[in-house]
Structure 1
Amino acid sequence: MARALLIQLFTFTILLIVQSSPSTSLLLRPPHGGPRQSMLLPLFLSPPNPRRHLQRSDPQTHPNARMGLYDDLLRNGYYTTRLWIGTPPQMFALIVDTGSTVTYVPCSTCEQCGRHQDPKFEPELSSTYKPLQCNLDCNCDSEKVHCVYDRQYAEMSSSSGVLAEDVLSFGNLSELQPQRAVFGCENQETGDLYSQRADGIMGLGRGDLSIVDQLVEKGLISDSFSLCYGGMDIGGGAMVLGGISPPIDMVFTQSDPVRSPYYNIDLKEIHVAGKPLMLNPIVFDGRHGTVLDSGTTYAYFPEPVFIAFKDAIMKELNSIQKIRGPDPNFNDICFSGAGSDVSELSKTFPVVDMVFGNGQKLSLSPENYLFRHSKVRGAYCLGIFQNGKDPTTLLGGIIVRNTLVMYDREHSKIGFWKTNCSELWERLQISGAPPQMPSAPDREPPPTTAPTQVPDHVLPGELQIKQITCDMLLNVSYPNLKPHITELAEFIAYDLGINSSQVRLMNFTPNGNDSLIRLAIFPAGSSDYFSNATANSIIAQFAEHHVQLPATFGSYQLVGWNIEPLEKRTWWQQNYLVVFLAVVVTIIIGLSAFGMWFIWRHRQQMLNAYKPVNAAVPEQELQPI
């Protein structure tokens, strides 16, 4: 499947609601350098919702939904959030996609749906489920009974089903109460939609069926939402449905809703190491312009932009070795010898600046345009590719790693703020925001309303964590797992998005086909501790089975975990080396002093016991005869 973005407008019948919006647009990269597949921008385009009444609003006067993001962009090609549908709620992992409008999940009636992360939605178990009846405002099924939707994609994957209404819940840390909304109950899916691990799509695009549009239309949230993807070392992130007060140093660019049905930005220049690429600004305005798409993994430039960018990067990196990419099917541009510490990459790779029409610029660090080479340590590859012959500039999730992106639709602009997305709530200092990243509530038993309980694997309070210990029961096909322990640790580190040096085997107990292993996970580099949010993310990935191991390692079960908080260690524990040295020195000094005293004492005793021959002694009085 071609990796470049090919947006082709075919003529076919699409069953969808009037004035619907673009469908999902994903460019996926499976883990460990496997073959890359593409879910491309949709074949059908339509104008934005004309019925929305745009009014200025204060984000503080509206509630918002604060939701966690999970998975890793380069492992699965997307980020998911948790959404609960029905009464009682049924949980689903949905890809957050700004290039799609319909939110849909597999239905229990689906005979052609893949095996995904969670069970299919069962309408019969929800007391609030109601399919939309056929009417003049929707396309109907062949019996003219229900409204239906149909989504087709350029690489021939598809999703179709019934449009229905039910109660949607946004998680236990959301201020927004459960709301009735329209979603798609899938009856058929093909292609990548069939094979992906995620359950479905959460549509954040413009259009009547978009979850954002529905909440705005009801006056429940301000017309804005935000996404924050984790970085190269740590996955996860955060999402906010509704408005938030922008940080004072947030960089904004205009986003014209009439220019394209996608979220576009006003890009004018790209600088590499402070030097502008010699390009006409009009090159960034071809076809759909410069599109920001949360469902796309990498970035795709028009041919002249890509060539100029690649040449500029190569010129800056003439001192390090160019190597082959991890996948022989692709001619990736990769470099070795940069080291494994992400924080040190800026010493080797140049800063890239994106300059907008208003003169403001967004600076990209190396993690915003590189991905790790999966087979060579300390090697990285360009995550920016040529977009075939299409003049559209497509910016995927890699561009905005560790960047809060605010889609301020009310004011037709998009904001960028460089930050650590795993600690977003603390950095934004949102009033009433939780001190840890939100995590999915326990799956069993399902809550009867919007989830309100914090799951067992969410750490309370604000902790500084020195070490995380996980006990895993592993069902393996290897007759002897021990020789493969190092390989296992590397796979776990890769899926967690950390360095393999941070994962250490503490104990290994074989038991037939099962093996009980204890792993310790340590902070990276010179850091003394994990933040509370980072530890939550790591534990959640184990607890919710987001760590995906090769089939030879079989399945695993997290049977226990423990943390060692930094602040709970005593002064003696934290300074044990100093204490140990002080004790040793004290003992040595003490032994030396005792030895000197012992020698002196012994000498004195010897002096008292020994009298020389010529010693002067008083004469004895002669005794009479």
Structure 2
Amino acid sequence: MASRLSSSTIFSLFLVSSAFLSNANAESERGFTVDLIHRDSPKSPFYNPAEAPSQRLRNALRRSADRAVHFARSDGLSPNTPVSEITSNRGEYLMNISIGSPPFPIMAIADTGSDLIWTQCKPCEDCYSQDAPLFDPERSSTYKKVSCSSRQCQATERTSCIGGTCQYSISYGDRSHSIGHIAVDTVTLGSTDSRPVALKNTVIGCGHDNAGTFNEKSSGIIGLGGGSVSLIRQLGDSIDGKFSYCLVPLSSKSDGTSKMNFGSKAVVSGTGTVSTPIVKKEPDTFYYLTLEAITVGSKKLDFDSSGLGTEEGNIIIDSGTTLTLLPSSFYSELESTVASMVDAERTSDPGKFLSLCYQLSSDLKVPTITMNFKGADVKLDPSNYFVLVAEGVVCLAFAGNDNFSIYGNLSQMDFLVGYDSVSQKVSFKPTDCAKM
């Protein structure tokens, strides 16, 4: 079956944003929702009006490749090895949270591929420049450093003991770093219904030596991964291990905001919902799924992950990667199959990144693509797998990469995607995210 490709097909990247109030309550027991904002929209602090949409897309494609390198370097490393590579150029999301008592608002990069929540703190011995004021732990009545023998210190990767207190040191793939104290403090999250959520005794990193390619618009990193000190794990029982998001395509005529849900509001169910197991592997930061095949039209291509076949946990789902990345040999088979079903003359990607491209026309038809995850067949819309790279040029939004296989955010647009760490599953439900 072929689908007609609309000229509105385009890429999608996002930022997390929410309003934060000072009076916290127990709303987290019932669930809550925050807004998601596209990182390149006028609402984003990263927005550059001088960049054309095609330039923003090229930047996003480069981030996809960098992201794959990060995951590959992290896979199979020892538990004490840093497993995050997120910088101002690679982070697709920002989140507003408040730290301390009284609440001190910060904006930090939110990352599903890392765990520790950290922010730049006074006194800053060697910090990168940031626009917002630095967090001063001495002004928070609930801030407390933790000892080296504490469970919080033991649960955090890459720590050492200096003067009886727990210290962390994180290095990133681009040679950026953050060094500081492990501490506990109250973290306050806002929600779209203006009912803030206070998390007491949350493990955080108070960074006193931070440098590299971080952007002055952000104050640190908020880890949303599967590790023990991530925001998701620390929310714990209050959200029953559940969170979800629904990514609105940039071409939507709505205001472009998407939603991230926690707890009871994150349950994905109803007609059209399919679920696939999360596979537990090291490092536990990442969310591993099992891709068994990709069906193009009526032709099913068994997924060969670097010669390992349908090995359990052979692909990571990541909201911070734009493209869906596959082993080069399998991608070549996928591209050849798609090309054989498109009756149109090929053209080239002006950015020289994507390899299967066509001139956009009213009669361009592309085959349907279904991602065959274990127990879950996810049928994509053409906007999930063809992207507008230049005026009148669309390209297949998959790419070959032998570092790691990643299910990217273009493929996730207009799906309600739910993560359940208790039942160990990820669920997909076709959804008009602009109407949520």
Same fold (TM over 0.5): yes
- The answer as to whether partners of 1:370 and 1:383 remain within 8 angstroms in 2 is yes
- The answer as to whether partners of 1:30 and 1:76 remain within 8 angstroms in 2 is no
- The answer as to whether partners of 1:107 and 1:120 remain within 8 angstroms in 2 is yes
**Which residue is equivalent to 1:401?**
413
Structure 2 residue ranges without an equivalent (≥5): 1-45, 47-53, 80-88
**Which residue is equivalent to 2:383?**
367
Amino acid at match of 1:323: S
CA distance in 2 between partners of 1:33 and 1:258 (Å): 32
**Which residue is equivalent to 1:185?**
206
Is 2:305 the counterpart of 1:291?
no
Amino acid at match of 1:252: S
- The answer as to whether partners of 1:169 and 1:179 remain within 8 angstroms in 2 is yes
Is 2:250 the counterpart of 1:250?
no
CA distance in 1 between partners of 2:333 and 2:379 (Å): 18
- The answer as to whether partners of 2:368 and 2:382 remain within 8 angstroms in 1 is yes
DSSP 3-state at the match of 1:33: helix
Is 2:236 the counterpart of 1:213?
no
CA deviation vs aligned residue, 1:69-106 (integer Å, no higher than 9, x gap): xxxxxx97512232121223222333332221111222
Choose which of 258, 283, 296 in structure 2 pairs with 1:237.
258
CA distance in 1 between partners of 2:143 and 2:211 (Å): 25
Is 2:167 the counterpart of 1:148?
yes
Is 2:184 the counterpart of 1:165?
yes
Amino acid at match of 1:369: Y
Amino acid at match of 1:354: M
- The answer as to whether partners of 1:325 and 1:381 remain within 8 angstroms in 2 is no
Provide closer, same or farther for how the CA distance between residues 280 and 319 of structure 1 changes in structure 2, counting only shifts above 3 A: same
- Runs of 4+ aligned structure 1 residues displaced above 4 Å come to 44-47, 139-142, 278-288
Amino acid at match of 2:249: G
Amino acid at match of 1:170: L
Provide closer, same or farther for how the CA distance between residues 189 and 379 of structure 1 changes in structure 2, counting only shifts above 3 A: farther
CA distance in 2 between partners of 1:371 and 1:191 (Å): 32
- The answer as to whether partners of 2:170 and 2:179 remain within 8 angstroms in 1 is yes
Deviation of residue 397 (structure 1)?
1.9
Amino acid at match of 2:432: N
CA distance in 2 between partners of 1:177 and 1:287 (Å): 36
**Which residue is equivalent to 1:82?**
96
DSSP 3-state at the match of 1:178: strand
CA deviation vs aligned residue, 1:204-252 (integer Å, no higher than 9, x gap): 2222211121221xx3221211122221314432112224332212110
Choose which of 340, 355, 358 in structure 1 pairs with 2:372.
355
Provide closer, same or farther for how the CA distance between residues 202 and 278 of structure 1 changes in structure 2, counting only shifts above 3 A: same
Provide closer, same or farther for how the CA distance between residues 396 and 197 of structure 1 changes in structure 2, counting only shifts above 3 A: farther
Deviation of residue 403 (structure 1)?
1.6
CA distance in 1 between partners of 2:148 and 2:304 (Å): 50
- The answer as to whether partners of 1:332 and 1:381 remain within 8 angstroms in 2 is yes
**Which residue is equivalent to 1:589?**
none
CA distance in 1 between partners of 2:208 and 2:159 (Å): 14
CA distance in 1 between partners of 2:195 and 2:115 (Å): 23
- The answer as to whether partners of 2:416 and 2:431 remain within 8 angstroms in 1 is yes
Deviation of residue 404 (structure 1)?
1.5
**Which residue is equivalent to 1:33?**
58
**Which residue is equivalent to 2:341?**
316
**Which residue is equivalent to 1:530?**
none
Identity fraction in percent? 27
1:157-556 aligned at under 5 Å gives the runs 157-172=176-191, 173=193, 177-180=197-200, 181-192=202-213, 194-195=214-215, 197-216=217-236, 219-234=237-252, 235-243=256-264, 244-248=266-270, 249-258=272-281, 261=284, 262-277=286-301, 279-280=303-304, 283=308, 285=310, 289-326=314-351, 330-333=352-355, 335-338=357-360, 348-358=365-375, 360-373=376-389, 376-388=390-402, 390=403, 392-424=404-436
CA deviation vs aligned residue, 1:461-496 (integer Å, no higher than 9, x gap): xxxxxxxxxxxxxxxxxxxxxxxxxxxxxxxxxxxx
Amino acid at match of 1:247: S
CA distance in 1 between partners of 2:344 and 2:57 (Å): 27
- The answer as to whether partners of 1:354 and 1:361 remain within 8 angstroms in 2 is yes
Deviation of residue 141 (structure 1)?
5.3
Moved more, 136-145 or 98-107: 136-145
Provide closer, same or farther for how the CA distance between residues 142 and 269 of structure 1 changes in structure 2, counting only shifts above 3 A: closer
Provide closer, same or farther for how the CA distance between residues 34 and 96 of structure 1 changes in structure 2, counting only shifts above 3 A: closer
TM-score, structure 2 as length reference? 0.71
Provide closer, same or farther for how the CA distance between residues 107 and 259 of structure 1 changes in structure 2, counting only shifts above 3 A: closer
Provide closer, same or farther for how the CA distance between residues 198 and 386 of structure 1 changes in structure 2, counting only shifts above 3 A: farther
Amino acid at match of 1:206: G
Larger Rg: 1
CA distance in 1 between partners of 2:280 and 2:425 (Å): 9
TM-score, structure 1 as length reference? 0.51
CA distance in 1 between partners of 2:58 and 2:95 (Å): 24
Matched residues, number:
355
CA distance in 1 between partners of 2:336 and 2:280 (Å): 33
DSSP 3-state at the match of 2:128: coil
CA distance in 2 between partners of 1:264 and 1:272 (Å): 23
CA distance in 2 between partners of 1:378 and 1:196 (Å): 36
CA distance in 2 between partners of 1:97 and 1:372 (Å): 26
DSSP 3-state at the match of 2:429: strand
DSSP 3-state at the match of 1:81: strand
Deviation of residue 268 (structure 1)?
0.6
Amino acid at match of 1:255: I
Provide closer, same or farther for how the CA distance between residues 349 and 108 of structure 1 changes in structure 2, counting only shifts above 3 A: farther
Higher RCO structure, 1 or 2 (CA under 8 Å, sep 6+): 2
Deviation of residue 198 (structure 1)?
3.6
The structure where helix makes up a greater share of residues is: 1
DSSP 3-state at the match of 2:127: coil
Provide closer, same or farther for how the CA distance between residues 189 and 386 of structure 1 changes in structure 2, counting only shifts above 3 A: farther
- The answer as to whether partners of 1:93 and 1:117 remain within 8 angstroms in 2 is no
CA distance in 2 between partners of 1:149 and 1:238 (Å): 32
DSSP 3-state at the match of 2:102: coil
